[in-house]
Amino acid sequence: MDDPGRMMGGGLMPPQPYGMTPQGEAPPGNENEPRKQDIGEILQQIMNITDQSLDEAQARKHTLNCHRMKPALFSVLCEIKEKTVLSLRNTQEEEPPDPQLMRLDNMLIAEGVAGPEKGGGAGAAASGSAAAQAGQPDNAIEHSDYRAKLAQIRQIYHQELEKYEQACNEFTTHVMNLLREQSRTRPITPKEIERMVQIIHKKFSSIQMQLKQSTCEAVMILRSRFLDARRKRRNFSKQASEILNEYFYSHLSNPYPSEEAKEELARKCGITVSQIASWFANKRIRYKRNVGQSQEEANLYAAKKAARSAAYNSAPSPITSMDSLGYYD
């Protein structure tokens, strides 16, 4: 008999399935190659995106977004980010209020530039009341001039500030849109967007600080120009000159007002006692220099005084005290 076993044995030889690989380790090299290539390509496209025209870029973006590898790329980026974000964690610094900026802000408010719009400024009001004992057209004129200039500065300041504010907002929304759009392609947390916004604001606020700086400078210059006595001399008001001249020509024989008289004149003219003294010193020396020419003026004021005396005699005015010194001559 035959040997079925043999047959069996031979027959049992497992058939070699050609071309049939055990599943699993099949084409790792085979498919990895094109994937790498894809990513490189995609990255290249991303890099090039800024060089392209808008329409083109739009189209490319679209194809990128629809690319079958996009989710993979996204997750890779996520992974990378996961690793690096830890190192970025602590870059979250508290925003310390800049002392310099606060100084500028305080000053602008104090000067009435940054504060309430039509308040007129506390400083101006204070100095105004300090000098408001007697009606003083002189100071009032100077003050209104000062106020006008200050208002001008304030207007420009607010104008510029608003401009910056607007530009900042515009830029911020622009960047936010950009980031939001990019967040479809790469992972961006809201925190990051917030941080970016903060950075932008910081940049713009530094520009604003420059504005505040120069505004402060302008205010300082304005102050020194108007409020410093010596810098820019201002003539006394017509009224003050009248009063002084009347006194001078009424006391031509002895044009040396006493301390009390000086105070009275200072009060009436709205200037200081030392200014009165200075005025009389100048007047005396300049009168003496050319008595002839001053004679006309002397007559003028003598006539005025006479007229005033007559007016007083018929209807006494509420003005009192030292004024009566002008009566005799």
Partner DNA sequence: ATTTATGATTTGCA
Partner DNA sequence: TGCAAATCATAAAT
Binding region for DNA (CB under 7 A): 229-236, 241, 256, 259, 271, 274-275, 277-282, 284-286, 288
Measured from the CB atom, the residue of 203 and 234 that comes closer to DNA is: 234
* Least gap, CB of 237 to DNA (angstroms): 9
Measured from the CB atom, the residue of 118 and 231 that comes closer to DNA is: 231
* Least gap, CB of 273 to DNA (angstroms): 9
Measured from the CB atom, the residue of 115 and 255 that comes closer to DNA is: 255
* Least gap, CB of 214 to DNA (angstroms): 23
Residue found by looking up tokens 């690793």 in the block: 83
- How far is the C-alpha of 116 from the C-alpha of 132, rounded, in Å? 23
Q: What is the DSSP letter of 327?
A: S
- How far is the C-alpha of 127 from the C-alpha of 147, rounded, in Å? 12
Measured from the CB atom, the residue of 118 and 288 that comes closer to DNA is: 288
- How far is the C-alpha of 165 from the C-alpha of 205, rounded, in Å? 9
Q: Token pair for residue 175?
A: 């960047």
* Least gap, CB of 111 to DNA (angstroms): 21
Task: List all residues 6 or more positions away from 234 whose beta carbon is below 8 Å from its beta carbon.
Answer: 138, 142
Q: Tell me the residue type at 50.
A: T
* Least gap, CB of 322 to DNA (angstroms): 16
Angle at 261 between CA 259 and CA 263, to 5 degrees: 70
Measured from the CB atom, the residue of 59 and 229 that comes closer to DNA is: 229
- How far is the C-alpha of 280 from the C-alpha of 293, rounded, in Å? 18
Measured from the CB atom, the residue of 196 and 277 that comes closer to DNA is: 277
Measured from the CB atom, the residue of 112 and 270 that comes closer to DNA is: 270
Rounded (10°) CA dihedral 113, 119, 121, 125: 160
- Cα dihedral sign, 63-65-68-72: positive
- How far is the C-alpha of 216 from the C-alpha of 207, rounded, in Å? 14
* Least gap, CB of 265 to DNA (angstroms): 12
* Least gap, CB of 129 to DNA (angstroms): 21
- Residues 266/133, Cβ–Cβ less than 8 Å: no
